[in-house]
Structure 1
């Protein structure tokens, strides 16, 4: 409690009172609908594939084929089980993310200050809010210190409102933001009873926007579903025309429809994104919307703040320059009496309860050097907030005797501009702070004023200020930051620094951090001179943006977006909020970031380690690559299933119904886990982070990639139909031919899943990528295949015969030739590649 300087009579609720209040008023949450287990199951049962299976099961029951009906029922349970497992994993992952995204609130309970999840706030709690924090309940202010709040989320008014326990309006509301100072408020409404709860427009109810990839996949699946209906009708009609058997023709048509539907694709996408976000969460990267994972891999520009992102945000007070003595003092000399006025006014110009690291340091230095701590004797009675270009701030204090202190601090340019010095003196001082800046120091000017009446000027710049000196901070680059930026550059991503600091300090720190092309910078005040076209060009080629105010940051982000860049913006302050919201990926710092920055961002790095963003980008690239592999695998293996079901029928071959629904559903049960569970666990390929980012607008499969998948599918089809004809030529019965075709297709499926682990590196190289799920799924598939072939009850049910050694060998050889030819393609691609992949 002492850290907040809160009156001792504010003790808060006891544990028993908290429980009583919770029982009476509930928890501080606006309930949103979450899909329970039954809702998930119902959604699964509405899937087209399950509807087809139900239809086939009913037909089998009606015609008395109870064995097939039972198998279809088992298949329904298996398909539903796999889908339920995937959906439930996704749901659990997203719920974990939601918990981590919930902000913490500071409360007083049992006379102790503690942080709790916001949903645990109860009516009657004493909550503490301070600069940069989101308010999470409605209440009445009982104590405050220079407190103002922005209520734009409720009123639409963007200006701040000062409130206190003595003001006419002493109420503050959930969803609004504390702009300055500190307040303790007694909670009077929580959850749905808050003002924002009654409006009914909670953030959690906003529908998540579909990503480009989601839209493309939905369109693809929709067109495949339309094609499936058309082919179903065609096969049903043609089969009936040939056989005049209504039920058998209907089963043929349904078998065909099952083989066409690529229902694994949307399931795979959802699973990949949700689990990708969950895995990143375990690494300390909290992603608010799972689709952001896809965008991460497309990042082309990272715009980063300097303080706390590139630097440690330690803000160590390194040096003081006292204008009165015209001397520079190092840390060991801060107790020199000549520095008393400079240190005192630097502290008085800070917030009474400091939030900013520099202001905290100034308070600490004041405590160490003063012989008479007068902070409790003086009350802040008027304030000019941080504003201007460049910015400054002014505080007015007074004590019971009416003695006043008027203290200002801010950017050196701003303080010199309002001081009473002549131009010659100002030029000398400009040279001094520029010299500090070139060494990477952060410099603030300090000034004082005297104003005896209460008729204060409207603007703080209208006071007559006496210049006192400079306070010089050093915030060193984080350890290992050079290596982080090297990884970012290696991945083909540009880096831009957008900061409120001056050009000299920023250029020095950026160079120390390993950021390149820092020679030329641009000030925020210069942006107004550019047209939209010029701004896009300038934003593209400039690396350092200094003295940036919120509107200027937003302007740069929007210019880069219009230029076609995929922008990640890193920030931690209140003034970073608009830019974080506007960027494709807003990234907030979890430890030192403000609540408004975290609320505006799409991604939060819990330990403020920039290397975690690189990890996120790598994960985005891995997930996108694995989605493509899964989709290409699905397309390639669906083609031989479709053609093996249809061509014998249309070409009038001897055994036109070589596959029935039981064979197709078996292959679907193999393909489902392979594409959405096994490929999801694939590690990142070599050199993935040494390639330039893909375009966000790229389709999930371009013409070349789609052509490769189609050719792979046609090659497997040729192999499977060759096995069909080979079996017939060797006198095979329908059951023997079906066994050859079925076995060849299963082996081709296994080999395809291995070959498609990489479309560049060889299958042997891919074996180095550890993925325990591959041997498990392949092992289970082979056990089931050999059970079908060599265990008689299964063989009779699937209407196949066992294969002798030569037939089995022939099946494996045909599958190998029809799939492994792709290794030659990859070999040629590696030999002819000049891209250094």
Structure 2
């Protein structure tokens, strides 16, 4: 076939450049402007920023300029970290948008090419076919049975016919092609399109927060309320004891800083954005980063067959010729009867084939025909693939008035409209079973006669002359058996939902180690079931054949009604409703229609289901690591809060053991630990051998929270024990502070290490690859050494350099305050309940 089958040469490169210079890119302006200033505004409005600012001002008023400048520097540093994290998240999301950019088909330089949708210009001749989104506004110049869904503009979700007639020729950017094919001349792009003009109202639509976002927001808000109450109480107690308004205010601000868990929202946004970015590098485009939350909870994967389980590299393997009742291998296709079956099957395909089966038919026609007649015929009418089971019909005509009406589709559907006798139909169906039992994809082929130009409204009105069967070989992918086993090991069921027949699908499934290949149900039978019977059927059945959109949607809804978290793969227009209904809609990047990609929540760039194993693993890893980070944040905040509050409330000899300087130092250590170190942790060794996490599970239940509380309380015992030990040894306030501070920083190091896994021992986690952990821990140790032993820093933080014995004592106490958790994990493993039945990264609470 020629590179351009259409009677339009399109724009030249020079004309494209001129049009782009005049009208700009075909993009609709984003709601927000640049990324930097919104990030700065967000950082300035953070509660921690306001607390640091207030503390800095008070130090200035008290005349303690060194401390004031330090707090001012801390403001800059904390804000820089916040802006940096925001930048990382934004860049990751921008990269995702670039990865998932839609493509448009245009005619340029007399060649049909694909370009990014933003590169379409006014004057382009764009090609729109079933399953695509219109790239721009335009006027149709050629069409065949073309209809679009304009619900994005009108809100009415039904097909609207469009053709070259003046009243029906206009089409709009963003509308969806339901059927047929058209070429349209672009008249407006970007903000000049109808969609662009209403973009402001579309941008105002806010995506509701996910359950996890709501839980985290609620937790942070409650902690903030607690912080305000405790701040006022501490301020009042400190004022009554000291009589100094500003000094007591500093004490209250110190405690407020220690309570506020501002790292949690930052960690949440960073983990999801970077997780989505990492998945993109692995070939999985996550359109919404919050989808990552759901991945780790998937309990069922519903996959199609062709191109997902199989290679989608169709080769025409056998023919059944009705004229002589023969089933023929390729070396016997030279007979006129066999050639006729191939030729009619080719005419029933698209003129420019993109489906592998149609490509194979065009290749077989070219190889076996004596004269290629394709250039002399043009399509006069098209009946797109449709019906239950599906069939399609094309009408071609040439300049002499010769007409070809060709049909292909599901064999039983073609036979139903054919003129064969019942006995002949039964014999053909027996041939279908024989071929399908070999794992071949079988289609029926027929032709029709028709006179006049007033074609029937529906292809069902044709009486067909059955010619034979075409059978395609599409072998399973080499890795698919391993992919299935990985899903099964992770506690995830796999179900096949296909338009193919049961015998072909079962044969392919059995070659892959697929479980339950012996039990199938077809779409018509399934639709006869009531809701209760269907819920039973979807649990008991693993292969669903001859499926159509309504049937697919019922399966998804029934699985969800049974409490499953459903992932669904799809590539065609008819998959859109099911992809949208599934918890995780998965479109194919290479062969998927733009409509499928639009409906899906993630895209497999290389059409490789194995990437979904990576995606599920990433979802589990991110959720587990986020849980570790937040439990770490809670655990380390408890000893800071109590070490600040208890000496004051209990009237100990040195009530202000920590000042804002010490708290901000600890905050600067904790921030990178939770948002950088834990984000980079690998999935635990048994992460894909645990059952999925229930989607309804509270992120931190009280039982799980008790682990963090116990950890924090034991560390508090350690810090307060160091306090009392130092006082008993007669150390001055600076020496006591150094002992307590060292104990807490070293305990923080130990906590970081033991919390890398809530099931495995700390020794086994040393094999985890995480260079950032080493860097952060070494920097923490270096900073502690500098603060303790460099006079400038030591005096600034009002510490005394501890002796080797004192520092060793602090280290022993600090590490012992977290080491008990290793004993606890060991005991739980000995009992054989080390979290195997728990969600990823969770350990049962203290009992």
TM-score, normalized by length of structure 2? 0.96
Q: Is residue 510 of structure 2 the alignment partner of residue 511 of structure 1?
A: yes
Cα distance in 2 for residues equivalent to 1:385 and 1:643:
71
Cα deviations by residue, 1:85-106 (Å, 9 ceiling, x for unpaired): 1111111111111111211222
Cα distance in 1 for residues equivalent to 2:669 and 2:482:
43
Cα distance in 1 for residues equivalent to 2:226 and 2:634:
14
Cα distance in 2 for residues equivalent to 1:712 and 1:256:
20
Q: Partner of 2:42: helix, strand, or coil?
A: helix
- Equivalent residue number for residue 444 of structure 1: 443
5 Å matches for 1:791-810? 791-810=790-809
Shift of 1:160: 3.9
Shift of 1:363: 2.0
Q: CA contact under 8 A between 2:479 and 2:610: conserved in structure 1? A: no
Q: Partner of 1:833: helix, strand, or coil?
A: coil
1:21 to 1, 4, 19: 19
Cα distance in 1 for residues equivalent to 2:469 and 2:621:
49
Q: Per the alignment, do residues 547 and 835 of structure 1 end up closer, same or farther by CA in structure 2, a change over 3 Å counting?
A: farther
Cα deviations by residue, 1:659-692 (Å, 9 ceiling, x for unpaired): 1100111000000000001110111111110111
Shift of 1:508: 1.1
Shift of 1:552: 1.0
Q: Per the alignment, do residues 173 and 490 of structure 1 end up closer, same or farther by CA in structure 2, a change over 3 Å counting?
A: same
Q: Per the alignment, do residues 404 and 184 of structure 1 end up closer, same or farther by CA in structure 2, a change over 3 Å counting?
A: closer
Q: CA contact under 8 A between 1:443 and 1:473: conserved in structure 2? A: yes
- Equivalent residue number for residue 31 of structure 1: 29
Shift of 1:400: 3.5
Q: CA contact under 8 A between 1:109 and 1:125: conserved in structure 2? A: yes
- Equivalent residue number for residue 492 of structure 1: 491
- Equivalent residue number for residue 187 of structure 1: 186
Q: CA contact under 8 A between 1:13 and 1:108: conserved in structure 2? A: no
Q: CA contact under 8 A between 1:181 and 1:351: conserved in structure 2? A: no
5 Å matches for 1:438-837? 438-454=437-453, 456-834=455-833, 837=836
Shift of 1:159: 4.7
Cα distance in 2 for residues equivalent to 1:99 and 1:572:
20
Moved more, 752-761 or 207-216: 207-216
Cα deviations by residue, 1:637-669 (Å, 9 ceiling, x for unpaired): 000000000001111111111111001110000
Moved more, 153-162 or 757-766: 153-162
Cα deviations by residue, 1:536-556 (Å, 9 ceiling, x for unpaired): 222222111111101111111
Q: CA contact under 8 A between 2:144 and 2:380: conserved in structure 1? A: no
Shift of 1:515: 1.3
Cα deviations by residue, 1:545-578 (Å, 9 ceiling, x for unpaired): 1111011111111111122111111111111111
Q: What value does the CA root-mean-square deviation take over the aligned residues?
A: 1.8
Moved more, 720-729 or 357-366: 357-366
Cα deviations by residue, 1:130-187 (Å, 9 ceiling, x for unpaired): 3322111111223445544343433455554454446642222211223444433221
5 Å matches for 1:58-77? 58-77=57-76
Cα distance in 2 for residues equivalent to 1:810 and 1:836:
34
Cα distance in 2 for residues equivalent to 1:370 and 1:786:
84
Cα distance in 2 for residues equivalent to 1:309 and 1:25:
41
Cα distance in 2 for residues equivalent to 1:750 and 1:798:
20
Q: Per the alignment, do residues 390 and 624 of structure 1 end up closer, same or farther by CA in structure 2, a change over 3 Å counting?
A: same
- Equivalent residue number for residue 312 of structure 1: 311
5 Å matches for 1:258-273? 258-273=257-272
TM-score, normalized by length of structure 1? 0.97
Q: CA contact under 8 A between 2:638 and 2:712: conserved in structure 1? A: yes
- Gap runs ≥5 in structure 1: none
Cα distance in 2 for residues equivalent to 1:682 and 1:459:
58
Cα distance in 1 for residues equivalent to 2:18 and 2:397:
44
- Equivalent residue number for residue 841 of structure 2: none
Cα distance in 2 for residues equivalent to 1:792 and 1:421:
101
Q: CA contact under 8 A between 2:447 and 2:467: conserved in structure 1? A: yes
Q: CA contact under 8 A between 2:481 and 2:512: conserved in structure 1? A: yes
Q: CA contact under 8 A between 1:438 and 1:505: conserved in structure 2? A: yes
Cα distance in 1 for residues equivalent to 2:56 and 2:241:
24
Q: Partner of 1:217: helix, strand, or coil?
A: helix
Q: CA contact under 8 A between 1:126 and 1:187: conserved in structure 2? A: yes
5 Å matches for 1:263-412? 263-412=262-411
Q: Per the alignment, do residues 20 and 397 of structure 1 end up closer, same or farther by CA in structure 2, a change over 3 Å counting?
A: closer
Cα distance in 1 for residues equivalent to 2:106 and 2:554:
38
Q: Partner of 1:667: helix, strand, or coil?
A: helix
5 Å matches for 1:40-439? 40-144=39-143, 147-165=146-164, 168-200=167-199, 206-439=205-438
Q: CA contact under 8 A between 1:309 and 1:571: conserved in structure 2? A: no
Cα distance in 2 for residues equivalent to 1:578 and 1:180:
16
Q: Per the alignment, do residues 702 and 81 of structure 1 end up closer, same or farther by CA in structure 2, a change over 3 Å counting?
A: same
Q: Per the alignment, do residues 529 and 412 of structure 1 end up closer, same or farther by CA in structure 2, a change over 3 Å counting?
A: same
Q: CA contact under 8 A between 2:144 and 2:381: conserved in structure 1? A: no
Q: CA contact under 8 A between 1:13 and 1:125: conserved in structure 2? A: no
Q: Per the alignment, do residues 804 and 157 of structure 1 end up closer, same or farther by CA in structure 2, a change over 3 Å counting?
A: closer
Cα deviations by residue, 1:18-68 (Å, 9 ceiling, x for unpaired): 333223222111101145212201101110011000000011111111111
Shift of 1:464: 2.3
Q: CA contact under 8 A between 1:649 and 1:657: conserved in structure 2? A: yes
Cα deviations by residue, 1:466-515 (Å, 9 ceiling, x for unpaired): 21111111111111110111111111000011111111111111221221
Cα distance in 1 for residues equivalent to 2:455 and 2:588:
38
Shift of 1:832: 0.8
Shift of 1:457: 4.3
Cα distance in 2 for residues equivalent to 1:109 and 1:682:
49
Moved more, 814-823 or 28-37: 28-37
Q: Per the alignment, do residues 292 and 554 of structure 1 end up closer, same or farther by CA in structure 2, a change over 3 Å counting?
A: same
Question: How many pairs were matched up?
Answer: 835
Q: CA contact under 8 A between 1:323 and 1:467: conserved in structure 2? A: yes
Shift of 1:458: 4.2
Q: CA contact under 8 A between 2:4 and 2:110: conserved in structure 1? A: no
Q: Is residue 3 of structure 2 the alignment partner of residue 3 of structure 1?
A: yes
Q: Per the alignment, do residues 374 and 145 of structure 1 end up closer, same or farther by CA in structure 2, a change over 3 Å counting?
A: farther
Q: Per the alignment, do residues 835 and 438 of structure 1 end up closer, same or farther by CA in structure 2, a change over 3 Å counting?
A: farther
Q: CA contact under 8 A between 2:828 and 2:834: conserved in structure 1? A: no
Q: Per the alignment, do residues 726 and 794 of structure 1 end up closer, same or farther by CA in structure 2, a change over 3 Å counting?
A: same
Shift of 1:609: 1.3
Q: Per the alignment, do residues 2 and 204 of structure 1 end up closer, same or farther by CA in structure 2, a change over 3 Å counting?
A: farther
Q: Per the alignment, do residues 149 and 334 of structure 1 end up closer, same or farther by CA in structure 2, a change over 3 Å counting?
A: farther
Cα deviations by residue, 1:577-627 (Å, 9 ceiling, x for unpaired): 111111111111111111111111111111111111100110111111100
Shift of 1:803: 0.2
Cα deviations by residue, 1:229-277 (Å, 9 ceiling, x for unpaired): 0100111111112222111111111111101000001100111111111
Shift of 1:10: 1.5
Q: Partner of 1:478: helix, strand, or coil?
A: coil
Moved more, 290-299 or 339-348: 339-348
Cα distance in 2 for residues equivalent to 1:346 and 1:260:
72
Shift of 1:835: 6.9
Cα deviations by residue, 1:775-814 (Å, 9 ceiling, x for unpaired): 2111111111111111112111111101001111110111
Q: Per the alignment, do residues 775 and 378 of structure 1 end up closer, same or farther by CA in structure 2, a change over 3 Å counting?
A: closer
Q: CA contact under 8 A between 1:131 and 1:355: conserved in structure 2? A: no
Q: CA contact under 8 A between 2:144 and 2:382: conserved in structure 1? A: no
Q: Per the alignment, do residues 624 and 825 of structure 1 end up closer, same or farther by CA in structure 2, a change over 3 Å counting?
A: same
Q: Per the alignment, do residues 465 and 23 of structure 1 end up closer, same or farther by CA in structure 2, a change over 3 Å counting?
A: closer
Cα distance in 1 for residues equivalent to 2:747 and 2:547:
59
